[in-house]
Structure 1
Amino acid sequence: MSTLVSLDLDDLGCYFGIHGLDQPEPDSDPDSDSQSLPRRGLALEHWLPRFLDVFEATKTRATIFVIGSDLEHDLAERGGRGAEQLVRAMGQGHELANHSHAHAYDFHRLPPAQIAEDIARCDALLRSLGARPRGFRAPGYTHDATMLMQVAALGYGYDSSVLPSPTYFAAKLGILGLRRLQGRRSVSQATGLRAFLAPTNVHYLPEVGLWEVPVSVSRSLRLPLTGTFLLGDAPPMLTRLQAESLRREAARKAHLHVELHAIDLADPEADGIDPRIVAAQRELATPLARRIERLGDLLNTRGGGLSIGRMMARHMR
């Protein structure tokens, strides 16, 4: 039984974009008299530490995919408080990896030179913290060979932008269509089908010189084995009983690569999350303590987890 754990540090702004919601005016600084929390910085300052506590308790070492622009904002505007958590993560044995700089959902549509500049900018920020990034994950899983060639040019060894779930892709298309009817335009892309039809096993891409490490899916319906589907009481498309069955399958799967998102351990009330986001992210209806317990139970049952880089080290140059 082998377990890979990866964590995407998508901040709250990503979810306003995904759900086609206008962001309210910026919140005030929490160091002022106001007690409101900033909407930018939650992933680094508030959500990441919760994961690090769970990982430490379960002897898990994860790959943490960092968005460069959020780290840059943290260093310039937040006193580096989020960067301190990333340094803490490295000290605990976790791997920092590249999730692009701007996290643009249409990233694959940019000219190659602009893609290369974006990835390199995030890479430089990670290295400024002492990291040695070897892996990449595209925003929204949407990628192509041109993008991966820019990743390989930096000397990286693997990509993990594949979620081989046609069921998820079909559901996404339906949701995007519904939102358009509601007059809401999501930043999510209705393209990239190949990533959702790709093989489920780790495989080499000789045309770009990278290993591809897909996120795990279930046997039936190829549902994503991600935090969104495993931690909440009633995940998208599933009943509570079906959700429990999916958790059991994840616990006993021979090889599991579970992808987590920082918002999986958000606390709607304590973190001051917009009610519209809470309504759209179904896992947030489940109490935080229960989500933390489920994540801990899964990792403990599987004997902890490894980072992608550690598992792939012998295969990468």
Structure 2
Amino acid sequence: MTSSALLTIILTPLLLLALATLLTWVERRLLGLWQDRHGPNRVGPGGMFQAVADGIKILFKQDWIPPFADQGVFILAPAIGMMTVLLSFAVIPITMGTGIAGDLNVGLLFILAMMGLGVYAVVLAGWSSNSKFALLGGMRAAAQMISYEVFMGLSLLGVVMMAGSFSLHDIVMAQAGLWFIIPQCLGFGVFLLAGIAETHRLPFDLPEGENELGAGFHTEYSGMKFGMFFIAEYAGIVLVSSLVTTLYLGGWRGPLLPPAVWFMIKTGGMVAFFILLRASLPRPRYDQLMALGWKVLLPLSLLNVMATGTILMLRASL
């Protein structure tokens, strides 16, 4: 392993953690702008050091473990959440030659597998807390995340069929003439909704629903263990935004500017969309969320697969 590859492996998780922390400030500023109110504006220029202050505060908060909790699993749960998100970034191609794992030929399957393992974090957190509110949040999270992973995987079949590969690098290269967001607009819509549900962001933050569950699966967590769940959620937003950029928006492709800049612009735009969605839509009931998935998104994702397969067969026969 070369020194540059080793440096990339070490620096990437650190940069992602710093970016996830910075996003807390970005979210507050954007929400303040969107809702016509002040965001953070006291600590540092434009309130930029508010995220630093929050980080220092959470580091020094008492790291308390409830005596009624299963201590081993209670500690392991947030670590699983962080690990699965950070490992997923290993196969994201920021430019043609940039990526920790290089051009992994099953990169898309690897990310879906890591997202599947991420379910264990919230389920184990809810179960190990030995609290009725945390357990209900964990059960909600399990049903929501496992269900929406089905629709997410089906929505991506159209992209894989058009690119002829599970490699994220090959998928970006296949968008040389046309971004997949146009021919795969139906799959894009399903994937975006599934991505919001996977990261349990508003309006799909039902596992954390503070109105009825207090804080859901992480009710009993404090200190840096709670912080790990918090950072994993923001890193998950960046991950889904990076996937949308790679799979549907042409990845690093774009005129004039360097490839890495195009990737960051597209990903940043998607992150801003995630944040502004929080200020725009009310939270649905849990049964409405599940009905949306199984009654609407599942038929649409299957329709997208059938339509894509039909068009590709007709094109090949001409």
TM above 0.5: no
Whose strand proportion is higher, 1 or 2? Answer: 1
Larger radius of gyration: 2
TM-score (norm 2): 0.30
Whose helix proportion is higher, 1 or 2? Answer: 2
